Amino acid sequence: MFPRSNQNWLRALQEPPGEAQAEALDELHDFLLRAVLVYLSQSRNELADWGRQAVRGLAEDLAQEALLEIRDNLNTFRGEAKFTTWACQIVINRAASELRRRRYSDFSLDSLRESEPAVFQSLTADKEKAEPEHVAERRSYLALLRQIVETELGERQRAAIIGVHWQGRSMEEVADALGLTRNALYKLLHDARKSIRDQLTARHLTQGDILAAFED
């Protein structure tokens, strides 16, 4: 079969359900599957432990999701590029989003909400039980820090802060998990800490105020 033109793709996919539409959908699905398999086969830390069948399964899911998205949004195709180029970008965007989700899954907001920062744990580990008012102050500051990290930081900054300061992981481990160099992680943490300091300053607090609440 000769390569389809943009008009041929649109006409076939917009046909009423039948042989012509089914043939176009199958052809497009196969194209999307090949494209996303190539994308996933490149060196990616997120899939390092996956077998071929697992990667194939993920590719099948992404291709099917992209196919449905394309079919439902044919009216947004402007014809400024080849139809297959436009379709390929859709499935690659879906794959990139999935890999990004997996990359940050270990540094999710769940760990932010379920624990206190490792630095505070080390400060309080061997302390006697604090007075109730002191405990209330700690909880208040923790809630404030969680709010700042959750709402004021970008996704990458939040993952870096959670990994290094909340979970107490090493710089090397967090950098590797996020696909960053050590220097890039340092810069990310620097910017994140500055954002946190700015938010504390806006509330007339300092980092010293927060740390002092965790030292008996």
pLDDT attached to residue 113? 52
pLDDT attached to residue 76? 93
Return the SS3 of 42.
Answer: coil
Instruction: Please tell me the pTM assigned to this model.
Output: 0.56
Contact 199, 191 (CB under 8 A): no
How many other CB atoms are there within 10 angstroms of residue 41's CB atom?
A: 12
pLDDT attached to residue 1? 53
- The residue among 174, 178, 189 whose CA lies nearest residue 100 is 178
User: Is 76 exposed, middle or buried (CB count within 10 Å of its CB: 0-12, 13-18, 19+)?
Assistant: exposed
Backbone phi and psi for residue 215, each to the nearest 5 degrees, phi listed first: -115, 115
Domains of the chain: 6-105 (1.10.1740), 108-212 (1.10.10.10)
Distance (Å, whole) CA 83 – CA 86: 5
Question: What six digits make up the tokens of 155?
Answer: 């996704």
Per-residue pLDDT in tens (0 to 9) along the chain, 216 residues? 568 899 999 999 998 889 989 999 999 999 999 999 999 888 566 677 778 888 899 999 999 999 999 999 999 999 889 999 999 999 999 998 888 777 666 555 555 555 555 545 543 444 445 566 666 777 787 888 888 888 888 888 888 888 888 777 888 888 887 878 888 889 988 898 888 888 888 888 776 666 665 554
**Cα R_g (the chain), whole angstroms:** 24
Contact 31, 86 (CB under 8 A): no
Residue 37 has, within 13 A of its CA and on its CB side, a CA count of 13
∠92-8-4 over CA atoms, to 5°?
Answer: 60
pLDDT attached to residue 5? 92
